[in-house]
Amino acid sequence: MIVDCAHYRDGSRQHDAALPLDEAVERCDEDGFIWLGLHDPAAGELREVSDRFDLPELAIEDVTHAHQRPKLEDYGQGYFLVVHTACYLDAREVVEFGEVHVFVGSRYAVVVRHGRASELHSARERVESHPELLREGPAAVVWAVLDKIVDDYQPVVEGIENDVEEVEAAVFGSAEDQTRRIYFLRRELAEFYRAVHPLLLALDMLESANRSDVSPLLREHLRDVEDHLKRIEEEVVTLRELLTSILQANLAVISVQQNDVVKRISGWAAVIAVPTLIASIYGMNFEHMPELGWRLGYPLALGLMLAVGVVLHRLLSRAGWL
């Protein structure tokens, strides 16, 4: 679905309504550039856009299949950028990922968004309020898209950090096993890291002095995005290390709890063992047992079992086994 299509010239949008695709292609030959935005396009719609703007065939295959790693690939007169979007669903403690694919040419920027995360309308509004950036051409679209997506990473980090703190408190404050929750949080952090880390290389390539389509002004803005992304990456790495420590602490707590259970079972087994031994001796039914003919034999045996049990219970309780 085409979300918006606009022609920009001299740092401003040339009309309010979205341009039809035919008119947008015609205006590519004029001064300025076209910014075409699509959201989860159908295969036929994507093919039509590809044919009209002569987009790289291999890159179109990547867009069609999605699930690409973040990357920047040069194609002749333009390049192709893949960025992962992210949104943290706190109720389920999962990160929902999407993808944004950006085709950049000398007169156009085609942005294809997959998934719900990181709507880009606000990115378009923001860059439209900065004419000095729009005058830099399609590269300004790349900055606007990257800036919005990287900004949306921060709530994801904060959501995961909040859950990590909850897990940490639960490990030391309750008897519940947190292993399952820790495992799934580590998995979400690992996937999030795979979305963040490769994007640093793509930003380095965009900021390269050898790239003539990126002006010093845009290079400065892209460095700001990269700084923000590096902070995100550092926080993700820190949370992963913290979760590793929490997992070890959780296993230690479980081990202590298991030791307590074993000690209690062993203690009660000791208390029961001696009376059981006495009862088993008297249950042998030998013909010549001195106690069999003694009136006090039965109460003595019961008293002995009770006394031994009480003494063992007190000794083991003082030792912390019961």
**pLDDT means over runs of 10, the chain (322 residues):** 91 89 82 91 90 89 85 89 93 91 94 86 92 93 96 95 92 80 92 95 88 88 95 95 89 68 68 71 64 65 73 72 64
Handedness of CA 270, 273, 275, 281 (dihedral sign): negative
Q: What is the pLDDT of residue 62?
A: 85
Task: Tell me which residue of 131, 143, 30 sits closest to 81, measured CA to CA.
Answer: 143
Q: What is the 3-state secondary structure (H, E, C) of 83-133?
A: EEEEEEECCCCEEEEEEEEEEECCCEEEEEEECCCCCCHHHHHHHHCCHHH
**Residues 35, 64: one domain?**
yes
Q: How many CB atoms lie within 10 A of CB 130?
A: 15
Q: Take residue 137 and report the two structure tokens written for it.
A: 């051409």
- Which of 205, 221, 253 is the last residue in one of the domains? 253
**Residues 85, 113: one domain?**
yes
Task: Tell me which residue of 57, 12, 56, 51 sits closest to 35, measured CA to CA.
Answer: 12
**Residues 310, 237: one domain?**
no
Q: What is the pLDDT of residue 203?
A: 94
Task: DSSP letter for 17, please.
Answer: S
Q: What is the pLDDT of residue 290?
A: 65
**Residues 96, 175: one domain?**
yes
**Residues 210, 263: one domain?**
no
Residues in the chain: 322
- Which of 212, 229, 253 is the last residue in one of the domains? 253
Q: Residue 278's domain is classified under what CATH number?
A: 1.20.58.340
Residue 79: left (phi > 0), alpha (psi -120 to 50), or beta?
beta
**Residues 237, 274: one domain?**
no
Cα–Cα distance for residue pair 294/272, rounded to 1 Å? 26
Q: How are beta strands 2-9 and 33-39 bridged, if at all? A: antiparallel
Q: What are phi and psi of 70, to 5 degrees?
A: -60, 130
Q: What is the pLDDT of residue 289?
A: 64
Cα–Cα distance for residue pair 101/83, rounded to 1 Å? 7
Q: What is the pLDDT of residue 209?
A: 72
- Tokens 């290079």 locate to 219
CB 246 within 8 A of CB 165: no
CB 102 within 8 A of CB 149: no
**Residues 244, 277: one domain?**
no
**Residues 31, 119: one domain?**
yes
Which residues lie closer than 8 Å to 99 by C-beta, 6 or more apart? Answer: 66, 67, 68, 82, 83, 84, 85, 113, 114, 115
Distance of CA 28 to the CA centre of its chain: 40
Q: Residue 171's domain is classified under what CATH number?
A: 3.30.460.20
**Residues 218, 92: one domain?**
yes
**Residues 291, 266: one domain?**
yes
Domain that holds residue 271: 256-318
**Residues 123, 208: one domain?**
yes
**Residues 248, 267: one domain?**
no
> What total number of domains does the chain contain?
2
Q: What is the pLDDT of residue 5?
A: 93
- Which of 253, 276, 295 is the last residue in one of the domains? 253
Instruction: Spell out the alpha helix ranges (H) of the chain.
Output: 21-27, 43-53, 57-65, 121-128, 131-134, 139-173, 179-206, 216-282, 297-318
